[in-house]
Chain A
């Protein structure tokens, strides 16, 4: 390392990390007092920040504890059995609805729905309609199938909804407009 004087308070320093200008200035007593005050203020501010962060950490730890307790409460064998029972109930509702759909649309249409994912039927307007396994319905327009705009009730099991679509559209096809794109 070598140093080269540039003036009273400036020096050039050269070392293997690079070339630097080093400037020194004398602190007068007033500046020292100001610096002390600045450092003290900064220290207080950082301490306050740490306190805030500590409060946040404590709040989050409490939240974790509460959530862990709730999770524990919801993970007992009793709760598992309730979930299983509910799944079984929904499975039975679905099966029952499937059986009624089969009975209403007929074995042939039902089997086509199972195999191809849709079945077709002719409505009162003499036009062909196609309903798929997701409950979407299409009207034949020339060579195209155009989807109808349907408001699906959220409270019907899917097979019951397909059945309802079949009955409603077969009866009142004109009531259902095409879906806008």
Chain B
């Protein structure tokens, strides 16, 4: 399982998903969220069990 913290209007949601679901989420949110692993933004994630990821919304510049 992969633990995902996703920032949103309700604070952050914590969800546990399978590796496959996590991979789908990363794909689906590409361009809208940055994926943070161990405090660093990662472009490609090799997912393993017990991984913790954070989804941070991409902020627009004016």
Interface of A with B (CB < 8 Å)? 92-94, 96-97, 100, 104, 148-153, 155-157, 160-161, 163-165, 167-171, 175-177, 179
Q: Is B34 an interface residue (CB 8 A)?
A: yes
Do B60 and A160 have beta carbons less than 8 Å apart? no
Q: Are B56 and A167 neighbours in the complex by a CB distance under 8 Å?
A: yes
Chain B residues whose C-beta falls within 8 Å of the C-beta of A169 in the assembled complex: 59
Instruction: Please determine whether B61 and A151 come into contact, CB atoms closer than 8 angstroms.
Output: yes
How many residues on B have C-beta within 8 angstroms of the other chain's C-beta atoms? 19
Is B56 a contact partner of A176 (Cβ separation < 8 A)?
no
Smallest Cβ distance from B10 to chain A, in angstroms?
Answer: 6
28 residue pairs bridging A and B, Cβ less than 8 Å apart: A94-B11, A96-B11, A96-B12, A100-B5, A100-B12, A100-B54, A104-B36, A104-B39, A104-B54, A148-B61, A150-B59, A150-B62, A151-B59, A151-B60, A151-B61, A151-B62, A156-B7, A156-B8, A156-B9, A156-B57, A157-B11, A160-B12, A165-B59, A167-B36, A169-B59, A171-B34, A175-B61, A177-B62
Complex: A152 Cα to B34 Cα, angstroms:
16
Residues of A near B11 (CB, < 8 A) are 92-94, 96-97, 100, 157, 160
**Chain A CB within 8 A of B41 CB:** yes
Given contacts A94-B11, A164-B7, A175-B61, 16 further A-B contacts (CB under 8 A): A93-B11, A96-B11, A100-B11, A149-B61, A150-B59, A151-B61, A152-B59, A153-B57, A155-B9, A157-B11, A161-B59, A163-B56, A167-B56, A168-B56, A168-B58, A171-B34
* Complex Cα–Cα for A152 and B61 (A): 9
User: Are B39 and A160 within 8 A (Cβ)?
Assistant: no
Partner of B34, one of A149, A160, A168: A168
The count of A-to-B residue pairs whose CB atoms sit within 8 angstroms is: 66
Chain A residues, Cβ within 8 Å of B8: 155-156
Chain A residue at minimum C-beta to C-beta distance from B34:
A167
Partner of A153 from B34, B36, B59 at Cβ < 8 Å: B59
Instruction: Tell me the residues in window 27-41 of chain B with beta carbons closer than 8 Å to chain A beta carbons.
Output: 34, 36, 39, 41
For the complex, what is the distance from the CA of A148 to the CA of B59, rounded to whole Å?
12
B 1-36 contacts with A by CB, 8 A: 5, 7-12, 34, 36
